[in-house]
Structure 1
Amino acid sequence: MQEPHLTGPETRRRTRFTCRSAFLALTLLCGVPITAHAAPAAAPQAAAPTTTQKAVVDKNGGLGWTAVSDTINRQLEDSSATLKQILNVLNRTDANLGSTELDNLSARAQRVQQNTQDALTQIQNYDDITDSYLQILGPKAAENEDPSVTEQRARLQQNSQGVKSALMRSKLYNLQAKQLNSAIATRRTRLQNAALSERTVSPLAPKFWHALLTERPENKSSLHEDGVLSAWMMLLIGTAGTLFLIGIASPVILRLLKRAGAKFRSSAETGVKDALASSIIAITLNGILCALLGGITWLIWSAAVLDADGGPIAAVLGESLPICGFIIGAGLPVFGRKGVLEGNPNERRALRGVDWMLALSILVLNLLRSFRAQDVFGPTLQTVLEMAFSLAIGICAIDTFRRLGKQDDTRQFAPTALGLSSLIFGISLIAVLLGYVSFAFSLNGWLLSLGTGLAVVVLLGLCWRSILDHLFDPEGRFSARLHPLGLSSRRLTQIGVLLSGIGNILLLLLLFSIAQTDGSFSMGDIGSRLRLLFVGNTIHGVKISLDTVVLCVVLVSVAYYIIRQTKHWIRDRFLPTTQLDIGARTSILSIFTYCSWILVGLGILSIAGLSVQNLTWVVSALSVGIGFGLQSIVQNFVSGMILMAERPVRVGDMVEIAGAKGDVKRISIRATDIGLGDGSTLIVPNSQFITSSVKNCTLSGSTSALTLNFKVPTTTDLEKAKSLLIEVAAQRSEILSNPAPVVRISALASFSLTMSLTVRILSARDASAIQDAILFDVFRRFNAENVTLTTA
């Protein structure tokens, strides 16, 4: 049907209506303050805003895209600059990019990718809103259109160009960041493969040793004034002095910890396991304090003797000496003369010096890797040092496990460890003889780092667990102070177990970071790997990172307690002040709980970066699944919502469905629990309450009718029988007097008739007991009055 022609006044009225409907929303988007409705177009004073009005508009125009455009553009400019820097570093031919440098570049690219993804989501929202409002206003001005609407359209079109430009830039930078991440990953893989497959001249060939002699000038150049090792004497003195100070101070620190109250036992008092368990806190604290001592001593030495930065070798020593201090400090209480193994002299003798050997191995490993990265020595001397390190590590491991194999307590695992170490030594020796020294060095370095990291993580995990056991001991001082706050012993135990699990997860992540460092035990490399784990990656627009996972877990935990406390307040404080019955209260609590968790779920999806576009494939898959196998689940879900909203069945009602009769105990989103008379619970899907017939005995009210039938011969005095039945009913206090009991003739037969007694009782739940009592009373009274009952 064709729309009727509109006159001029009608056109202006429709235009004004359109203005009023879109004015508020457009104001927020375009940043124009809310003013009074503009005068008609014919008024000359309303044709254009004054200078003062323009100033106000520009000043207050920061409510929409104008407010965030500058910030987003600055973020995009910073992302572009960062991407250019990363690309320039990757394209440099003279750049010696190692694993650490590639990790730093990857972390920067990951941050750019996440920042552009966040900006992309934000800009997309503005783009959708802008397109929607432009569709409302139309592409061109209508006849006699209000000037304010025309101004809004022009401003909106201008903003739309800026939004789409920023949208395209964010998509471009996000794609470039993904491509750089892929290029960095490819470069890292190529670097690792090249290092493992690098082959030199075999040490068995005279050419190898001849090359070593010809490199003497190159090797000495690092010791010159401008060389990397120009301050080698001060570096050596500082390193030796720091290690000597740690060795001297470690027993003193342990003695002070004992005086401070730290528990420490030896195996002479108890077994080795019990001694370690009771002394684990003292062992760990001694290692931590020795690590702090080593780090502080080196900082003081480097600041007093070395140059401003000390060079790259000084930085490596600054990272390695605290680790060595921890190993030495934790090893003394175990392997020392008065340590945990004091009662096992043979085992202590077999493990003598293992802590120092391990600490020095880690120090030499980090130095050799730094020498290779800085080209301190010539390639042949570097190969000789790596070869000697690889073989020395293997020999020390074989000797240690051989000595442990002779002890009674270590015979179970020492032979297996000896066999593995012998196999690794054999592989390393063959690789060295064939010229694959880098492979042998990487293999032994990685195993050394992983073994040391595993020992440190296990020690820290046992210490953390022991600390939690002491803190949350039900009879401890800390627990006694928490009991007045309402925390029971069971709750404190749960908190201790939860904190222990969180600590173990973090320690496992630390071990995983150590395993990913390609044989380096540098704190910088480990921290970089650990940071990458928490920064994470963005896959198909979804941010996958540990910080997001932790934040989501914390959000769920906090939401659980907030929802539970709010639910308790509504149930125990608010609802008792209302006149709602128990069914309405239960429905309100259920709807509140489900809605709250839906909001929490949406918040988690927002934090994770999931949007409707990300969930499109999930929704598509679910639609197929619903079509084939989820009909009943969806049907029960919808039926549960109907039951809670319409409330044909409420909690506390007595219902009869499918031949079962009982009280409704709970209505959930999927099924309803019905308590039966024998104490069991019948779980009924919600869809049955919607699609089948249900008898609700208490829906119409609290009272209920009870009808009993009696067959008497046709020769019976009906008036007498009727009066006896009414008299029996009147004598029962459970039967209501108003309405009064009624006796009727419900059926006639040749030799008998049926009399029905109908009474009203307070609750349908008492019907069975009242029926039994009435039948007993009628039987006794009929016998006393010689009234006969029949079954014919």
Structure 2
Amino acid sequence: MHRVTTSRFFTGLFALLMLCATLPSLAQAAPSLISDPRSVPLLAEDASVQDLNDQLDLIRQKVTGSANDDLLSTLRQAALQVQKQADTLAAKQILDLEHLDDQLNVLGPVQVNEPPSLTQQRSALTRQKNTLLNEQRQASSLSQSASDMAAQIFSLRRSLFDSQISTRSASPISVVFWSNIIRPTDDDLSRLRGLYADVRSVTDTAVAPGNRWFFMSMLFSALLVWVTGRRVLEHTLVRLTVRWIPEGRLRRSALALAVGLATVLTISLAATLLRWGVLRDTVPSADMLTLLDQLQTLVVFCAFIVGLGRALLMRAHPSWRLPQIPDQIAVALAPFPVLMGLALMLIGTQERINSVIASSLALTTAVNGLTALAIALVFFFGLLRYRRTRRRYALERMSGIAGLIPFVAGTWIGISLLALLSGYLTLAYFLTVKLLWMSVVAATAYLLIACFGDLCETLLSPKQPGGLALGSALGLSERHQAQASTILAGVGRTLLMFTAVLLAFLPSGSSPGELLAGLTQLDLGSKPLGNLNIAPGDILLALVLLAIGLFGVRVLKNWLGERLLPETNMDAGMRASLVTLVGYIGFVLVAVVVMSTLNISLTNLTWVVSALSVGIGFGLQAIVQNFISGLILLTERPVKVGDWVSLAGVEGDIRRINVRATEIQMSDRSTVIVPNSQFITQNVRNVTMGNALGVVGITLTLPLETDVLQIRELLLTAFTEHEDVLDTPAPSVTFKDLTANGLVIGVSGYVNSPRSVGTARSDLLFTVLGRLRELGVALSSPQSMVLINEAAEKASPAD
């Protein structure tokens, strides 16, 4: 037999823990518990207005100041459900009203001497219409009332959270803290006894002579699925992945996903089997059903943490690991997902019990503090193990954002422990649970984003066999196929990232819609600042939106410049101009969003516009002129990044076009900053705009007795042999002139770029002059003309 590892042994104990973790707190037995006060009956899909109204009244009765957060969350969901059904009913009634109006239009107005049957039919339709109008108004009013009730419950939950988070309780280092857990109040004991009676009743029924073998078989099946089934399913998924997915990044992503899914599915199936074995032929109470449902959810969440850790760390198969984590660190961190699952299973069970029995605030706060302590300690020792392992093996710190994760997590845990030891248990509980939830969401998002990107790359990229087959079947060009792959991967990753951010800041037990509603109802102060009507809460929200917007614009620019646009047939200059223009548009949109958040309108900026107009008239005219010129350069593109231009004695390559000036790199690698207005108002020579080829020209003056045919052949040979001179257009030699100084012969050839002209001309001059010297041909020397005055010469001897 194979030796069972520690992690497999721990995961195998999960099934027993789900049943046994409830027993220590339920040791004192005595029956009686009233019916569940939180139960809100579900309504049928075709509920009437009266049914919805009764449901809303029941919700109002249960909303009290003593209700805990779980109850308030359940009641808010019920109120939102009433609102949804009321809206659906109102929409259906509108359609029925339109149908009645059509029938009345067919009958037309009352006519003289019309048959009585038409009069009766018109009257009946009119009565139906009036009845529907009344019901439609009632449904709309009920929908608004349900919406107001949900908003009130949201405000009550927030007030409850604010009051608890600022309340100081007994610290875990005090005796009172542990006394609240070990010695609960009489009221809590009474409720625990009632719940224990329900558990005892269900257990007795499950192990009764008629159900005993079925329960034992389900328990054995659950353990078998949990321990052995995971291994079998994992190996099966791995074999299928290796067989059906080609070797590459997608296979590695699929293997990690298969490992995680195998863990979650088998543990979830085992919990379902165990639940089935307990509830067969049993009619449990509402408390017992609620407890089992919450425990099953807790088991799945713990299994998800374990599976996610195994999928990302891949201790047994380092080549399958998605993140760039060294093997030593992966091995060191492998036990901590299992430890986190065990801690949550043990303490979370008591939390679920407190939620079901609606325990006292002291016991609930103490258990929450115990949960915070357990999560914080697991994170703390995990970070400590990571640090020691990195120092022991002299491993480098991870680069980028990943390198900040240990620091941020350590700071977060330090604040949580400080709050915990200070007695702010609810605050510590909120911080630790939020850290755990954000870690799970971030790890899941990383895994899904990697899998989705690899899937798009494998199925659509023309560089992969699958992409080639798909492109051939659909008749797509490689360029369009690469663009489609990049766009699809970018859109998918953006949606996954947005969903992850939404879920990361999602309160426990809420939905994304509740988060959006909470953001819209965020109120950190309503006192305006001056005449601009800016609230302090708006300033905080505006700063957050500004940071997110700037980061989003930067990510979009990088994605366009590095991923999407290189897959197109645009040149480098067009890509750079488009990225710059998108950046400016993005910044303007971010500014508009921030201004709207601060409730700043153009009327509130009248004084700013007036000041700018005066400034433009005096000192900012040149800046505005350069700004407008920069926009013209980016849109009309008379020059673009990469062009070689000559302007007012400045000649070089355009490296960047900014909103105010353009950077030109000279031949000596220096950079000249030229205002954009000069490109609009002055003559600009764009060497590479119409033709990117450069011309190398040499002109020679040779003596009159030179053999021109021999020289022509020499020049053509020199230009043809040079590696930079193009064959097409072919080099040419021309006889330019015949002067007193000699023969003027010119030769020209083309190179790939004007930037190569200087180097090619220098090489060719060396070659041509060397070969002329070998032939004994010298260049013609400049001749000077001397005028002699004969009269002066004759007079000279006489003197």
TM category, shorter? 0.3 to 0.5
What's the TM-score once normalised by structure 1's chain length?
0.47
What's the TM-score once normalised by structure 2's chain length?
0.46
